[in-house]
């Protein structure tokens, strides 16, 4: 009984992870500009990988009777670093002056960060 | 333009300790599981490189005031000493020895002289990697 519940849980976790990874790949192909693409890549890819890692962790813990703390460390590490890398890629592309998609209606960073920003605070 | 990179610096402050602890774990786990001196050294070097990316090279030199060329030399000497010590016990060069010891906190522990050789490899890898990266990074 417990084995069945654990099995269902593991299958659900890994299935969710694979689904989110596929959604990430679809988003990278379909979305119009680099900012929306980093949005897709940093959010749903993180969740997908975290779900797969959690499923693998549960599998080895309950099925193979092996508690593997490296997977917990990997989950924490990816949870910290992946959004930060997405943020840095988006920021670097804005500083480099990459155009937004044509559908964009609002740009709060205009004149603050991009290449046309005033550089009078440059010292 | 000097951009405000507080995100990267804050994340680095947390992540560096995770990488360093994982490097120590990989180093000591090398005898029975995948890992060892080479991978542990590369992980340590990558943690220091991450610090260099988030801050700058002078700050990192102030935080970690190691002379990496000396570190490489110490690692090579340690490896050579571990290999050469076997000569004094009338066994072939590079023969390792191990025994079980009762340490106060760990209990019965198996200590192997190959770990000292691995420590030499670790120091050489960290030293060489950081020497290369610092030399290229400082090139004006």
Please indicate if any CB of chain B lies within 8 Å of the CB of A109. no
Query: Looking at the partner chain, which of B5, B11, B22 has a beta carbon nearest the beta carbon of A80?
Result: B11
pLDDT for res A112: 75
pLDDT for res B123: 95
State whether B22 and A73 contact (CB < 8 Å): yes
A73 CB neighbours in chain B (<8 A) are 18, 22
Segment A85-112 mean pLDDT:
85
pLDDT for res B24: 93
Nearest to B127 by CA among B75, B68, B76: B68
A113 CB neighbours in chain B (<8 A) are 3
Please indicate if any CB of chain B lies within 8 Å of the CB of A87. yes
Give the number of beta-carbon pairs within 8 Å between A and B: 29
Residues within 8 A of A (CB atoms), B 12-51 only: 14-15, 18, 22, 25
Confidence of residue A118 (pLDDT cuts 50, 70, 90): low
State whether B15 and A95 contact (CB < 8 Å): no
Please indicate if any CB of chain B lies within 8 Å of the CB of A89. no
Q: How many CA atoms lie within 13 A of A38 on its CB side?
A: 16
Q: How many residues does chain B have?
A: 140
Segment A96-114 mean pLDDT:
80
Nearest to B84 by CA among B74, B75, B76, B94: B94
Q: How many CA atoms lie within 13 A of A108 on its CB side?
A: 0
Question: Would you say residue A121 has pLDDT above 70?
Answer: no
User: A117: helix, coil or strand?
Assistant: coil
Look at A21 and A122; give whichever has higher pLDDT.
A21
Segment A62-76 mean pLDDT:
91
Segment A108-123 mean pLDDT:
65
Residues paired with residue B109 on neighbouring β-strands, in sequence order: B101
Separation CA B38–CA B30 (nearest Å): 10
Please indicate if any CB of chain A lies within 8 Å of the CB of B8. yes
Segment A51-55 mean pLDDT:
96
pLDDT for res A106: 83
CA distance A85 to chain B (A): 8
Question: Would you say residue B140 has pLDDT above 70?
Answer: no
Segment B14-29 mean pLDDT:
93
Confidence of residue B3 (pLDDT cuts 50, 70, 90): low
Share of chain B above pLDDT 90, in %: 47
Please indicate if any CB of chain B lies within 8 Å of the CB of A72. no
Average pLDDT in chain B: 89
Question: Would you say residue A113 has pLDDT above 70?
Answer: yes
pLDDT for res B2: 55
- Pair B123, B74: CB distance under 8 Å: yes
State whether A76 and B18 contact (CB < 8 Å): yes
Sign of the CA dihedral running B76, B78, B81, B83: negative
Question: Would you say residue B1 has pLDDT above 60?
Answer: no
- Pair B55, B16: CB distance under 8 Å: no
Residue A20, token pair as written in the block: 């989110």
Confidence of residue A123 (pLDDT cuts 50, 70, 90): very low
* Contacts of residue A70, Cβ cutoff 8 Å, sequence gap at least 6: B22, B25
In this predicted model, what pLDDT tens digit does every residue of B84-115 receive, in sequence order? 888 888 888 888 888 888 888 888 888 888 88
Please indicate if any CB of chain A lies within 8 Å of the CB of B6. no
A70 CB neighbours in chain B (<8 A) are 22, 25
pLDDT for res B113: 86
Q: In chain B, what is the straight-line distance between the N-terminal and C-terminal CA atoms, in Å?
A: 19
Mean pLDDT is lowest, of A21-35, B62-76, B79-93, B123-137, for B79-93
State whether B8 and A84 contact (CB < 8 Å): yes
């Amino acid at each position: 009984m417990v084995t069945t519940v654990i099995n269902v849980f593991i299958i659900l976790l890994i299935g969710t992870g694979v689904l989110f990874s596929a959604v990430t790949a679809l988003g990278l192909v379909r979305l119009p500009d680099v900012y929306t693409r980093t949005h897709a890549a940093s959010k749903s890819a993180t969740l997908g990988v975290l779900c797969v890692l959690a499923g693998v962790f549960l599998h080895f813990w309950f099925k193979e009777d092996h508690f593997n703390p490296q997977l917990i460390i990997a989950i924490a590490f990816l949870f910290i670093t992946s959004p930060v890398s997405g943020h840095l890629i988006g920021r670097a592309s804005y500083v480099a002056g990459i155009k937004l998609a044509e559908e964009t209606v609002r740009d709060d960073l205009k004149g603050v960060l991009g290449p046309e920003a005033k550089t009078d605070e440059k010292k | 333009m000097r951009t405000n990179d507080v995100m990267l610096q804050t994340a680095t402050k947390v992540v560096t300790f995770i990488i360093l602890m994982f490097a120590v774990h990989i180093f000591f786990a090398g005898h029975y599981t995948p890992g060892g001196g080479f991978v542990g050294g590369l992980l340590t070097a990558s943690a220091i490189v991450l610090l260099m990316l988030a801050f700058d090279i002078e700050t990192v030199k102030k935080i970690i005031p190691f002379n990496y060329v000396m570190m490489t030399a110490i690692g090579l000497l340690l490896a050579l000493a571990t290999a050469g010590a076997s000569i004094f016990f009338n066994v072939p060069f590079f023969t390792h020895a191990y025994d079980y010891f009762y340490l106060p906190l760990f209990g019965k522990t198996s200590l192997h002289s190959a770990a000292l050789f691995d420590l030499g490899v670790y120091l050489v890898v960290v030293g060489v990697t950081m020497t290369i990266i610092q030399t290229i990074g400082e090139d004006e």
